[in-house]
Amino acid sequence: MRNATVLIADDHPSLLSGLVSLLEEKFEVVGAVVNGHLLVEAAARLRPDVVVTDISMPGLNGLEALAQLKAARSDIKVVVLTMYADGALAAEAIRAGASGFVVKVSAADELETAIDEVLQGRVYLSPDVPRDAVHSL
C-alpha cells in the first residue's frame, strides 16, 4: 500500500520544515507551501490525499483556501493545523469542510493520528479544543 500523499501549508518556514520532517516518516509529503493561494494551486496540481493547512496565512487564509479546495475537489481531506485551541474556530473549520482540527503545539503527538483518522473517513478534533462550541454542530 502506497503512503498517503500530503500537502502542507504554513507561512512559518521553520515550522513548515519541522512539519515536513515530522510527516515524512509516515506519509509522502508531496509539497509544502507558505500561503493559501499557493496551496489551492498546488492542490490542484498535485492532487494530494490530505491537505494540512494553517489558518492564519497572508493573502488567502486557511479557511478561505479550505472552501476553495472543497469546492474544487469534494473528496479531498483537510486537516486544519492552527495555533488556536478555539472551539468556534474548530466548528467553523469543520463546517467549512475540514475533517481534522489539530492545535500546533500538539502536532508532534496528534497530527499523524489525525491524518490517519481523516483518511479513514472520520473526523479528528484535537482534545485541546473546548467542546462547548463544537457541540453545537
Query: Residue 47 CB, nearest distance to other proteins (Å)?
Result: 26
User: For binding to other proteins (CB under 8 A), which residues are involved?
Assistant: 12, 14-15, 18-19, 21-22, 25, 55-56, 61, 63, 83-89, 91-92, 104-109, 130, 132-133
C-beta of 48 vs 87, nearer to other proteins: 87
C-beta of 13 vs 47, nearer to other proteins: 13
Element (H, E) at 88: helix 87-96
Beta bridge partners of 28: 5
C-beta of 19 vs 118, nearer to other proteins: 19
- From the list 107, 55, 61, the residue with the least C-alpha distance to 84 is 55
Residue 127 neighbours by CB under 8 Å, 6+ apart = 106
